[in-house]
Chain A
Amino acid sequence: MSLMLNHISFKPTEEYHLNDINLRFDSGKMYTILGRTLSGKTTLLKTIAGLQTPDSGSINFEDTDFLSIPVWKRNVAMVYQQFINYPHLNVRDNVAFPLKQRKMDENLIEKEVQEAMEKVGLIGFESRKIQELSGGQQQRVALARSLAKKAKILLLDEPLVNLDYKLREGLREEFKKLFNVSDESNSILIYASTDPLEAMQLNGDIIVIDEGKILQTGTAKDVFENPATAKVAEITNDPAMNINKCLIQDNSLIMNDSVQIQIPDELKTVPNGKYLVGIRATDIYLDDQGFAFDVEISEISGSETFLHLRNNNLKCVATIEEVKTYNTNEVVKINFDKSKIYLFEESGDLRHSPYQQ
């Protein structure tokens, strides 16, 4: 059983929100749609759910034309980025809502509701009003509602983005558990996210989308190691991979007048010319013999420090594995891990990845 999207396009204004989307989702698998804000993730999910009609293209599910089925008859469940619940119902009735629409037996509803509430840890809150819950609990209610429905397609649109850090970590763990459970039910799970780390952690198939176009699909490992284009490399890394123009000439990689490095052996076959060089922030390290860069901004993130560096027109972000304060315009010396260098054609296509044989 699979969900097929064929040539889906949606262009409400001058710009494409979805541009010729072709995707295949298989039952019992989990997919992560990774893209920046306004890349078309939500539009894509809404199109699958039926809240939006595409201008062209077709969707097939279980050999039926999905687009001809109105939204309330499609067997889908959706959790939104905002915590959407029914303000006039209590927690229990909120979770039971989709089941009541199906005219299920009361006892069965009660059982399913209890099960779903247990999964998200809401036992004891049954008769509370929605307004009396915290943001995280409200999102749990929405999640429980989507789980109780036992839909064939479960759509999660950045469900964790509006929660605080601690809760996000906790719920993400639960998500992973829930997804393993739902594997048995053979449903399709589609999770939209802007956070590359989250996408990698969830460990499903990754679909990279930008400006309404699918840029790459593949396993988390594959997308991480071999990004198809420079743009994918930017989207799938946080902080974004440093992409800079460079010139390869006589075995040296020239980024600007002062930053020139000897290229590693595996790049020696690359002909001279203009390229884009990609280096992950984590592959830049402090080195007293390295190149001098000015600190533009230094931000502490957890146990790491992000340094926004500049050398004339060359900019890059480096992740330093310690917490340290740097002054603005302080000069630091850094170097690049040559074995981790990506090379892209000027058009953006991948030319060389360190993980390629």
Chain B
Amino acid sequence: MNFKHKYVFLLPGLIVLIGILIFPIIFTVRLSLSGWNSFNPGLDFIGLKNYIRLFTDDPRFWQSFFRLSFLAITTVFLQYIIGFALAHMVWKDIKFKRFFRVLFLIPMMTTPVIMTVIWRTFFHESLGPLNDFLSIFGVQPPWLSSPGLAKVSIIVVEVWQWTSFMFLLMLAGLLSLPKEPFLAAAVDGASPFKKFIYVTFPLMAPISIGAIIIRLIEASKIMDTVFVLTSGGPGTSTETSSFFIFIKGLREFQMGYAATASFTYLIIMIISLTIIVKVLTKVLMRE
């Protein structure tokens, strides 16, 4: 049979793909080669000038990138530890298992921006309940206006918001594990702790890698928390890559330069995530 028109059936998918993925990327690349800004809006061609500026004359972009790396890795690491611990806790038969399972999922079901507003109120230096409580001990840390503590605040909010997601993935993973190796391990003389180290953890390695990568990708796009909580401040001490690009593109209207930063960021992310997957596979799965 000869279906010459069979490729026509691919069109709906292809059009959507081109429309939402391929065209924006190509347009971004083209935009990054232009000097589009608020004085000179238009797709002129200025060659690699933007890239040269980014790589030689913009420490702020790189600072924001390393800051982002730090925040992403720290939050995901904490989320993994806490999420795994919580999942492990409600995996076995304990009292009120269902209640806890739902309870741990609540943060994920809330809207990040709204929760961040609540957290901002919570952290408020003179009016917030946290400092009100801490004043009993005579301290009132500047949660959002010191460079170091502002990072801590962002980490706390991010961990609170997204540990649920990690918990969900890890619990699903634990529930899908075969029961037999645990029977064998008990008889083979493994204490509950060793059982975790030698059986549960290695069996969970593939799921762990998947969960960590998903969260790393998500955490690299960290934007709303920073925007609402600190607006990148104080100074630029909590500015992340996406927030930097947002400021360049939508505040200062340097569209061409923002596109350059976006595309560079995309390439770096693809490369570094590939490396991270390789390293995690090697470390966790011992292959």
Q: Which of A100-146 contact B (CB under 8 A)?
A: 100-102, 142, 145
B109 CB to closest chain A CB (Å) equals 34
B260 CB to closest chain A CB (Å) equals 45
Q: Of A70, A73, A85, A86, which is in contact with the most chain B CB atoms at under 10 Å from its CB? A: A86
Whether B180 contacts A82 by the Cβ 8 Å rule is: yes
B92 CB to closest chain A CB (Å) equals 15
- The stretch from B4-12, B51-59, B61-69, B183-191 touching chain A is B183-191
Beyond A97-B198, A101-B194, whether A84 also contacts B184 by CB under 8 A is yes
Is A77 positioned at the interface, with any CB of B under 8 Å from its CB? yes
Whether B186 contacts A71 by the Cβ 8 Å rule is: yes
B246 CB to closest chain A CB (Å) equals 44
Whether B190 contacts A101 by the Cβ 8 Å rule is: yes
| Inter-chain contacts of A86 with B (CB < 8 A) | 181, 184-185, 199
Q: Is the interface of B mostly helix, strand, loop or mixed?
A: helix
| Inter-chain contacts of B202 with A (CB < 8 A) | 88-89
A46 CB to closest chain B CB (Å) equals 9
Is B205 positioned at the interface, with any CB of A under 8 Å from its CB? yes
Q: Of A70, A76, A97, A100, which is in contact with the most chain B CB atoms at under 10 Å from its CB? A: A97
Is A306 positioned at the interface, with any CB of B under 8 Å from its CB? no
Q: Which of A56-95 contact B (CB under 8 A)?
A: 70-73, 76-78, 80, 82, 84-89
CA distance A84 to B181 in the complex (A): 6
- Chain B: how many interface residues by the 8 Å CB criterion? 20
Is A188 positioned at the interface, with any CB of B under 8 Å from its CB? no
CA distance A88 to B187 in the complex (A): 18
Whether B205 contacts A71 by the Cβ 8 Å rule is: no
CA distance A54 to B178 in the complex (A): 25
Is B203 positioned at the interface, with any CB of A under 8 Å from its CB? yes
A86 CB to closest chain B CB (Å) equals 5
CA distance A76 to B183 in the complex (A): 13
Whether B198 contacts A51 by the Cβ 8 Å rule is: no
User: What is the 8 Å Cβ interface bit string for chain B, positions 170-206, against chain A (1 contact, 0 not)?
Assistant: 0000000010110111111111101100110011010
Is A348 positioned at the interface, with any CB of B under 8 Å from its CB? no
B14 CB to closest chain A CB (Å) equals 39
CA distance A78 to B183 in the complex (A): 10
| Inter-chain contacts of A72 with B (CB < 8 A) | 186-192, 194-195
Residue of A with least CB distance to B204: A88
Q: Choose from B183, B188, B191 the contact partner of A145 (Cβ within 8 Å).
A: B188
Q: Of A77, A84, A85, A102, which is in contact with the most chain B CB atoms at under 10 Å from its CB? A: A84
Whether B184 contacts A51 by the Cβ 8 Å rule is: no
Residue of A with least CB distance to B195: A72
Whether B189 contacts A80 by the Cβ 8 Å rule is: no
Whether A149 contacts B183 by the Cβ 8 Å rule is: no
Pairs across A and B, CB under 8 Å, 23 listed: A49-B187, A50-B186, A50-B187, A70-B191, A71-B186, A71-B187, A72-B189, A72-B194, A72-B195, A73-B189, A78-B187, A80-B180, A82-B180, A84-B180, A86-B181, A87-B203, A97-B184, A97-B188, A97-B190, A98-B188, A101-B190, A101-B194, A142-B184
